[in-house]
Structure 1
Amino acid sequence: MILAALIVALFASIFAGTKWSDASTTPGLALDLEGGTQIILTPIASEGQVTDETIQQAINVIRQRVDSSGVTEAEITSQGKNIVVGLPGTPSDETLDLVRKSAQMRFRPVLTYGAPTPVASETQAEEPTAPTAPVTPTSPSDLAQITPEIQAQFDALDCTDPKNLTGGTGDDADAPLVTCADDGTVKYILGPVEIEGTEISNASSGLGTTAQGVSTGQWVVNIEFNAEGTKAFRDTTTRLVALPAPQNAFAMVLDGLVISAPTANVAIQDGKAEISGNFTRESAALLANQLNFGSLPLTFEVQSEQQISATLGSEQLEKGLIAGAIGLLLVVIYSLFQYRALGLVTVASLGIAAVLTLGVILLLSWTIGYRLSLPGVAGIIVAIGITADSFIVYFERIRDELRDGRTLNSAVEKGWDRARRTILASDAVNFLAAVVLYFLAVGGVRGFAFTLGLTTLIDLIVVFMFTHPVMQLLARTKFFANGHPASGLDPRRLGASARYAGRGRVARPGAEGTQDAPVSDASSDEPFGSPTREKVGASVGTATAGEGTRQTIAERRAAARRAAESGSTTTDSSTEGDKNEENL
């Protein structure tokens, strides 16, 4: 019942998602099966800076960015000195921006800001905002840095023009910067760089709290700097808090555009700052993500961006599914041949596992953007054998108990106690291998490891919540409990033998299945051959005609008395045998 409720809840959630959200009844497909967007990035740096090591470091940072955005199965590789990023499906603009905006994250003091539109030339002459003669700046926040050339550039800048919001502009760390907010609402004049993004050790988003630990209900972004960044941030905030607005603000610049410009309210001594404002959950998470992964060892420009077709396509997916169907069919044939009707339990269990796997993949595709790749399909196919192996272990344990003379009810419970440990140990090894492979591998191999680990967990759910309870129910039916030859649990076909059950009782396979029967009374006049009689003790001589077992001493004497009463005589060899037996 619990498993049925779980499946119903799973698919009900997906169905509701198709009505009121962007869920789908088909799983998302990765780049190799669906195609997507390919972006080629070219580094902008001196020749000595572009090394294999820095390229690999840049790939790792871009991969972190893409993965953190919820996109899975992205392909990020190097071609010479270029980086090729393949994003499956139709990625969002936010995800594309995380790849395009690949310049370094930098912190600059705000000198001034204004409306995003250009300023008329006559207004510039009437209201100069900068000194007319060169003056040596005393600090990064000194307004003397706003030269007439900088002021003219600021006045002419139009941040409502999309061309000025693409980033990638010149970003000299030692010079002032005239730029726009990334959303085009404000334009800034910023001082030289004071802190590099590489000095951020961690950034996260969450609900703010008071000093007493009470939630404020407002979303905030928390930043923590490393040792060098802590010292620089302490010096910067100490200077900024003493300045009037807007010079008491510092700008976070990513790829030449301001993504946030908070005001410094206090001097931060420990390198741990909290950014608050009109954040939503999504905007706070985006800023934290940009701060976490915004720092690249190189600056890149987008060389090309284009839509690409599937590298493998539906034909390869179809072949993979056919391979899986063939493997499943072979497992079904083997199960029915080896276990007869009991094999239907294997088929039903595999069916439940398939339904659960499909449901979980659909749910992950909807909630975290998971996409199924061909290596992922291979992981699911491999899982067919792993799942079937669990059932085989369980069934063979039950058969072993039946061979020892137990009833089916007892064999199911005893067999489960023994099989459970084996199944848990086997699946634990498989899951551990999948986890290690996932964290050590990249690209498509991670897709294989993910589905392998997922199906291993589903195998445990099915065995514990379906296969074992079904066997408990079947053990109560006459067809299986009586050991019908077609059940796959016939004790006689399994070679069951009698065993001592204690208190003068033995257990052996009987005419109506395996049963516990008392030791027969030697003085009983019950006819030999009754299915409830047990043959205990040494048997000597030959069996009576028509009997399939040897007679005990008491039975031979009883047979001799009955023969004498009916006028029959025993042979000399029989009499001699009885005498010999009496002397034993």
Structure 2
Amino acid sequence: MAAPKKGRRAPTSQGHPGRTLILVLIAMAALVGGMFYSGTMTPRLGIDLAGGTSFTLAAQNQPGKPNAINETNMNTAAGIMERRVNGLGVSESEVQTQGSNHIIVNIPKGTDAKQARQQVGTTAQLAFRPVLTTAAGAKTPEPKPSPSASGKGGEKATGGKGSSPTPSASASTQGRAVTDALKKPAASPSASASDKPSVPPTPPAPGGADVPPAVQKQFAALDCSTKAGRAQAGEQAAGTKPTDPVVACKDDGSQKYVLGPVGVEGTDVKDAKAVFDSQQGQGWIVQMDFTSDGGKKFADVTGKLAAKAQPQNQFAIVLDGAVVSDPRVSERLNGGNATISGGFTQQSAEDLGNMLSYGALPLSFKIDDETTVTAALGGEQLHAGLIAGAIGLALVIIYLVAYYRGLALVALASLGVSAVLTYTIMTLLGPGIGFALNLPAVCGAIVAIGITADSFIVYFERIRDEIREGRTLRPAVERGWPRARRTILVSDFVSFLAAAVLFIVTVGKVQGFAFTLGLTTLLDVVVVFLFTKPLMTLLARRKFFSEGHPWSGLDPKRLGAKPPLRRRRTAPNQTKEA
């Protein structure tokens, strides 16, 4: 009798479907509550729905550099442009390469289009400024410009091949040391007298007497550990004259600086490249060559800095108002060239080399096309898309009601749960990860209706197959689930894999379609497993469905089922005979 008992228990071993449904409702309530708590009741809209400006920039070779248009330089330029537009306070900007020589920049509504055009279309400001004082990136009560105080960037500069570095000097874990790359021996580390306005003056006292009180106040209040603080420092630097001191942040926010007047312009760098040093064992280094005037300026600046104590013997390489490197100098560097080394990877060395060699942007660009996308145009497209989605949903509902009758209520309830989960999650992802709903994303959500409905149909058909074989509804619901589950998982896995591949290999708005398709595919699995299946288990206990009412969609006669009683009466007789 053991085997028959197990067979009777199998259909009823369905856990606690009521508890599962309650958990789903709690999750939905939590997501809706999160929307109210964050104050965000609608998803963030992309540029095509909210409006904005789109630029298409064509790359041009710089004079004397005919082969500058390549994948590395295009990616470097796109990265710099993205940092610029984000510095404008843009919350949903898109910067991407297109083809071999174009970059697309999409700026959403609310951004100054003229300012954005200037930011993305011009070469960035690159300069070498002396470090007057430095401190940790967080906000400090007052500046501490004592020469003995140094930041994390303990970089070092030495002379040419004929000189030797100071034995006690070493690069810090974060900074980079400037080592010899000169063709001639370096001069002694004595300061040279120069009246050039580009050479920073020597501070008369360690207390930072040449730093204006206003700059000291800015320095004390500056908080480079936050994105807003770094953006503020960049804005202040953009409005400062080259001859004035300025506050700046390390590009990673770990340090903040008071920098002196510009000593060497970025245009004074003739060339810079990343090289792997296998002879002296320094790893990846960056070699710089200056123009004739730039070499003289650099020699004057390094000569003056070498006579000072740390941190005032450092010079900062400033890109778009952010310090990308801050080497130390221990002697005057002549010869018009120098080498930066210390802790580089190949990628970081190539990035810094590109920045130095090309004045930040490795290529010059011209704006080929500028398109203003109005919210009205996006609204019309969205309206048309929603109409198409509504028509598709109505056809799905008509089909479900006509073919599955009472089971259509289960499908519609599941679609409703899926819609609530999708809407709330997309709304919360806006402030969470910057997700913006664009037209392709809306198309992905519409396509998901068919994917979700397909999962219901697979399960319903498995149940109806079990009923056709003569089983009652409750065992049919349980026996049909394993077969339907495998089919649903395989189907959703294929859809999710396609969405993942599409998201990885594409850029821009197509990624929005792929992201939404992948999200809704995952939610389809959640809804079918945690809502549709438990709901069917509960409904199977109801007389309307269990007895196969003609409008339940599970009528045995309408499905052509064999009478179950005649098939089951023979089982006890066979058991007794055995």
**TM-score, scaled to structure 2:** 0.60
8 A Cα contact 1:37 1:307, kept in partner: yes
Match of 2:468 in 1: 403
Match of 1:481 in 2: 546
Q: Secondary structure at the match of 1:486?
A: coil
CA distance in 2, matches of 1:383, 1:163: 44
Cα 1:265/1:191, change in 2 over 3 Å:
closer
Q: Secondary structure at the match of 1:85?
A: strand
- TM-aligned CA deviation for residue 422 of structure 1: 0.9
Match of 2:38 in 1: 17
The residue type equivalent to 1:187 in the other structure is: G
Match of 1:166 in 2: 238
**Structure of greater relative contact order (alpha carbons < 8 Å, 6+ residues apart):** 2
1:33 lines up with 2:49 in the alignment: yes
Match of 1:348 in 2: 413
- TM-aligned CA deviation for residue 268 of structure 1: 8.4
1:538-549 map, 5 Å: none
1:188 lines up with 2:244 in the alignment: no
The residue type equivalent to 1:61 in the other structure is: G
1:228 lines up with 2:248 in the alignment: no
Cα 1:49/1:329, change in 2 over 3 Å:
farther
8 A Cα contact 2:43 2:437, kept in partner: yes
Question: Please, which moves more after superposition, 449-458 or 61-70?
Answer: 61-70
**Bigger Rg, which one:** 1
Match of 2:172 in 1: none
RMSD: 5.2
**TM-score, scaled to structure 1:** 0.59
8 A Cα contact 2:444 2:514, kept in partner: yes
CA distance in 2, matches of 1:92, 1:381: 34
1:95-174 map, 5 Å: 100=120, 103=123, 108=128, 110=130, 138=186, 143-144=191-192, 147-151=195-199, 165-166=237-238
Match of 1:368 in 2: 433
8 A Cα contact 2:285 2:341, kept in partner: no
**Which of 64, 79, 82 does residue 61 from structure 1 map onto?**
79
Match of 1:87 in 2: 107
Q: Deviations over 1:51-101 (max 9, x none)?
A: 6536743564357657999955736567997755222233599x9699649
Q: Secondary structure at the match of 2:309?
A: coil
1:421 lines up with 2:442 in the alignment: no
8 A Cα contact 1:43 1:299, kept in partner: yes
Cα 1:186/1:410, change in 2 over 3 Å:
same
CA distance in 2, matches of 1:326, 1:110: 66
CA distance in 1, matches of 2:448, 2:188: 61
Q: Secondary structure at the match of 1:367?
A: helix
The residue type equivalent to 1:421 in the other structure is: R
8 A Cα contact 2:200 2:261, kept in partner: no
Q: Deviations over 1:165-209 (max 9, x none)?
A: 438999xxxxxx9874458965334468899998699xxxxxxxx
CA distance in 1, matches of 2:63, 2:326: 36
The alignment of Structure 1 onto Structure 2 pairs a total of residues equal to: 426
CA distance in 1, matches of 2:389, 2:275: 47
8 A Cα contact 1:109 1:141, kept in partner: no
CA distance in 2, matches of 1:39, 1:96: 9
Cα 1:326/1:299, change in 2 over 3 Å:
same
1:148-547 map, 5 Å: 148-151=196-199, 165-166=237-238, 180-182=246-248, 186-190=259-263, 227-229=283-285, 244-255=309-320, 257-259=321-323, 270-271=343-344, 296-298=361-363, 309-310=374-375, 312-497=377-562, 508=564, 516-517=568-569
Cα 1:473/1:313, change in 2 over 3 Å:
same
CA distance in 1, matches of 2:444, 2:468: 36
- TM-aligned CA deviation for residue 6 of structure 1: 1.2
